[in-house]
């Protein structure tokens, strides 16, 4: 994470009731962790949510 991203996470921490340890773990997440989570989600997602990661977000006009 970039320094700016880390400070953003630290500002959110108190409102989300995250501990300093939680924030430290979050700041160490890398793209391969996110990809692995996507695989886990696809394998274990609740019925009806299988395609959620592949859904396109429509822009509001």
In a domain, 57, yes or no: no
Domains contained in the chain, number: 1
How far is the C-alpha of 42 from the C-alpha of 49, rounded, in Å?
9
pLDDT of 13 reads 57
Q: What is the pLDDT of residue 47?
A: 73
The answer to whether position 60 is within a domain reads no
**Which domain, by its residues, includes 35?**
3-52
Model confidence at 5, in pLDDT bands (50, 70, 90)? Answer: low
pLDDT band at 4; cut points 50, 70, 90: low
With beta carbons less than 8 A apart as the criterion, state whether 1 and 27 touch: yes
Q: Which helix (H) or strand (E) holds 25?
A: helix 20-27
Provide long-range contacts, Cβ within 8 A and 24+ apart, for 9-14: none
17-49 pLDDT, tens digit per residue, is 777 887 788 788 888 888 888 888 777 777 767
Closest CA to 11 of 21, 2, 25, 23: 23
Q: Is 39 among the domain residues?
A: yes
Could you tell me if residue 15 is inside a domain?
A: yes
The tokens describing 21, both together, are 């340890």
Examine residue 58 and state whether it is found in any structural domain, yes or no: no
């Amino acid at each position: 994470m970039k320094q700016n991203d880390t400070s953003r996470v630290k500002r959110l921490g108190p409102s989300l009731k995250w501990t300093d340890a939680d924030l430290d773990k979050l700041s160490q997440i890398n793209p391969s962790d996110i990809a692995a989570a996507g695989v886990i989600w696809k394998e274990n997602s609740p019925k009806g949510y299988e395609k959620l990661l592949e859904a396109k977000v429509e822009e509001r006009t």
